Structure 1
């Protein structure tokens, strides 16, 4: 009986790129997806770059939105009562982003209408800031906050105050010409994180607009995290706040005692 040769092994066909020339879409990426924060951190500049695949000659616009982790904000206002300046009852905003920036090829009102921007939450004027639950309006010290749903006509003034304070701290930024095309279809934008940027997970949205309507979006994630000794202290303070507080008091008392002994000798 004659042995038959082994069957031929057919090699799989090499993967080929998919033709996207007929599809309008946007693709983007970050030069850094993770930012490490330590004692020497002075901020970070990250480049967001991408490409627009446009099979037609119709012009398009690109809008970049970067939103940091949400955090509660408590505001007070100085009020004069019987000739004495006092703090008003705190107003609590919950869910305001700790960092927010927009960059675009043109001013946002020239790219899309008010309704589209409000629906997408694009721009500081359209930020979604959540109100806290009624049951959470009293702090552990018995101070009752004013929830934003009860502010009435004063709501917009307090909301503008939140944005104004964040802009003064370089945590909110709007750049109407922050997205530039470096070549046909290729664009870039600069994401500047200040030294006070909160840690956590950031979400970046790259919107593609055509004729005033969104035509595509690319979602990215950026992580800002503490490293080294600062991270150990941060995690210890959050895991065991009472122990951390007691240690801080003992450390301050020890340093004060040591300083008094040194100056007494002098």
Structure 2
């Protein structure tokens, strides 16, 4: 004789079945996500900066920015810090009538980085051929300045180019050597990027290259912004947008300052 089902037994089994189905669905989803991540290729190079904005205030005296990253295996790391492109005129002085010195010849270059430094775990010319260095413009000797016009013959252009690089190095805007990249356990790396007090403002790029077997196997570009903020930035913008008013205000301030100084000295 068959027993009749107890009232409410089906209702009690229904939440159990729903919970079991939900658990199986969640397990299937987690398995699918794990397989998808396992199938994704591992990035050979990852890099980032400790900060992406350098704020220049009236008390700015230079700053350091930490670059850090990791690779998927052994290899050398080269990074290039490049400032915004500018146009520069290089002039050469010569004696006139044997009495005074004046600017005679000049050369104008475009695509001149306002700031340029190279960092590497080993000297770049030891791990990369000249063709690759030239392709990626690694090293001041491989920078591709664009010659706009000139008043001298082609034989004098290299001298003007070398003079431009030398002046930039003297100002501390171009590195006069290759700075170190520290490798940690052949996977992690770091470098300290230094920006002097006279660093130009604008959009910078930090180019990181992973080198293996004499070639670039991976590259990553990280942006960096250097900008003026505060009262100094407002004065700079005013001087750029309204130069006539800025000059007039500077004259007035100089006159008032001189008058106040004269009054103070007379009282003493």
C-alpha change, 1:113 and 1:188, in structure 2 (3 Å) is: same
Would you identify which runs of 4 or more consecutive aligned residues in structure 1 move more than 3 Å?
A: 7-24, 148-151, 174-177, 260-266
8 Å CA contact 1:29, 1:50 repeated in 2:
yes
Q: In 2, are the aligned partners of 1:20 and 1:53 still within 8 Å (CA)?
A: no
TM-superposed CA distance for 1:244, in Å, is 1.4
Aligned equivalent of 1:230: 232
User: In the alignment, is the contact (CA less than 8 A) between 1:131 and 1:149 conserved in 2?
Assistant: no
The corresponding residue for 1:110 is: 126
Partners of 2:185 and 2:176 in 1: CA distance: 23
Paired positions, count: 247
5 Å matches for 1:1-266? 13=30, 18-19=37-38, 23=42, 25-54=44-73, 59-84=74-99, 85-132=101-148, 147-148=149-150, 151-173=153-175, 175-176=177-178, 178-266=180-268
1:180 Cα deviation after fit: 1.4
Mapped partners of 2:238, 2:214: distance in 1:
49
Distance change (3 Å), C-alpha of 1:95 and 1:153: same
Displacement of 1:200 in angstroms is 1.0
Q: Is the 8 A contact 2:86 2:111 kept in 1?
A: yes
- The answer (yes or no) to whether the contact 1:95–1:131 under 8 Å persists in 2 is no
Contact (CA 8 Å) 2:105, 2:152: kept in 1 or not?
Answer: no
Q: Which residue of 2 aligns with 1:135?
A: none
Q: Secondary structure at the match of 1:18?
A: helix
Larger Rg, first or second structure (1 or 2): 2
Residue of structure 1 equivalent to 2:5: none
The one-character-per-residue Cα deviations of 1:53-111 (angstroms, maximum 9, x if unpaired) are 13xxxx52110001011222222222123212222244322331111000011111111
Residue 58 of structure 2 contacts residue 232 of structure 2 at CA under 8 Å; is this kept in 1? Answer: yes
Q: Deviations over 1:101-146 (max 9, x none)?
A: 00011111111111111111111111122334xxxxxxxxxxxxxx
RMSD value, Cα: 2.8
Shift in Å at residue 149 of structure 1? Answer: 8.5
> For 1:174 and 1:21, how far apart are their aligned partners in 2?
42
Greater helix share, 1 or 2?
A: 2
